[in-house]
Structure 1
């Protein structure tokens, strides 16, 4: 049975609790059998597998391949790379994606640039709808006995969350049906090169080896065009139609737009290489060491650490 996938950051109790509250309200409307909540519904804490991280990736990818819709919870300037990868997979598959945020900030690529809901315009461009509830609930009309200004502040936050969850459920039930797309890709397309947003935009450290090897190259446009959302849609289309994706995943987390393109490329049958010259690892009980995020790790066909490895991958 197809389902609604609730994507969220897994690594803190408050994030899992918020996602569980959303899943529970949604299940009351559509039935628990149609709601998939990662970590909970894969029983991640108790799952035993020979290579647990890979098995978790396989279970999530199997779910991603048969969705009616996705709702993703995103907050703040540092977005979870696994969630962004899942958004890209759903969007490239023609599955409607709803994004929920209570972030009170907006973002732009220049001081006076157009406002964006998220730091990378790809996140907003890939979404079918964005639900933003940025303001606290109203202050109480009277103070209850024993309350403090901290408990009142907590109450206002809970009201804000309740409003956001209610708006999300209402919008989810009104999403369009999936528009399934073919994932067949030819070998004649360009190499889509996604450089790091933390390096100069004119740096061709990844593009140059591709052109030197005789490959056509497609470069990201969203950071340099006057309309970043239009540029982001162009980037998504180009990455899904490429023969290969070469992406720099350097940073505290894989940059959110890069993670989204990796998910979109995976859904589209594009060969993926993650360039990560200084890898770091995450560890969890019963799980093999992962290159920070297991969804990014196993979505990529190759992990490249230097220019020689890039050239070898291009020649393969």
Structure 2
């Protein structure tokens, strides 16, 4: 059983949490059957001509030979690289387990159905979700001189240990990989995914597609009475389209959009990322990236304005 640990990896505490999970998994299935990005790609010390692209290639190569994925997702702002990896795995028929210690749930309207994550697509593709939202129990005895902060730390660490142990046991019970999603057909359908972080919505992108002679599909999950069912419809539609035109604007690529990008890549769909006002990230030895490298190198075109969109649609 080969298991991929998808995790946010920019801060030490995120990497430490993922490493604790990987260590527990390795004790069950062997070190050679666990893949931990950053650690197993030697990201800090890797030297490559285009380091970001090389890291993407290493991660994608491992995504292509998995038996299962565990993804760590915490809080309302979900890592777009992790969401892309979830989408790639789901479209490849790989069972996905999601682990969260978030104490919040989400809904698309004030009194709408409660969701485990802000975008119903994340929940829709999961084979299993492990939620451990509460602190561990208070300790029965407190060390002399210890502050209430030490007690609070102990209860948080207890919560983390319980979450990791539960996830490992659940991962070992995941089903075998299933069939890949049906490859896209050669058609004129463009699936258009807007960004919730912009006021323009999807009208301008959909109009450009229609003006270029393409059919257009738009997401249904955000206005659906059954957001999970319609999220799966969105996923199927995007993976069966000829192109995915995704607005990736925002602090990070929106989580559902990132998932669709991963799924589209696994399904052979051409992907254009509309991002007219990028900001860049920088890391030692790595080229500047205008989005998370798992997004930047997954897409086939960076579209920095409507003229670029029109040119891409014409090819």
Residue 188 (structure 1) aligns with? 187
Contact 1:183 1:269 in 2 (8 A): no
Deviations 1:71-106 (A, max 9, x none): 000000000000000000000000000000000000
Cα pair distance change 1:37/1:85, threshold 3 Å:
same
Count of equivalent residues = 315
Task: Give the whole-Å Cα distance in 2 for the aligned partners of 1:312 and 1:141.
Answer: 67
Pair 1:147-2:161 in alignment: no
Structure 1 residue aligned with 2:118: 119
Q: Aligned runs of 1:1-316 on 2, under 5 Å?
A: 3-181=2-180, 184-199=183-198, 203-316=202-315
Q: Secondary structure at 1:67's aligned position in 2?
A: coil
Q: Structure 2 CA distance, aligned partners of 1:184 and 1:203?
A: 25
Alignment gaps of 5+ in structure 1: none
User: What are the Cα deviations for residues 181-202 of structure 1, in whole angstroms up to 9, with x where unaligned?
Assistant: 2664322151000011234586
TM-fit CA distance, 1:180: 3.1
Q: CA deviation at 1:253?
A: 0.3
Contact 2:93 2:181 (8 Å CA) reproduced: no
Runs of 4+ deviating beyond 2 Å: 182-186, 198-203
Per-residue deviation, residues 209-230 of structure 1 (Å, max 9, x unmatched): 1011110111100001111111
Q: TM-score, normalised by structure 2?
A: 0.98
Counterpart CA distance in 1 for 2:301 and 2:93 is: 26
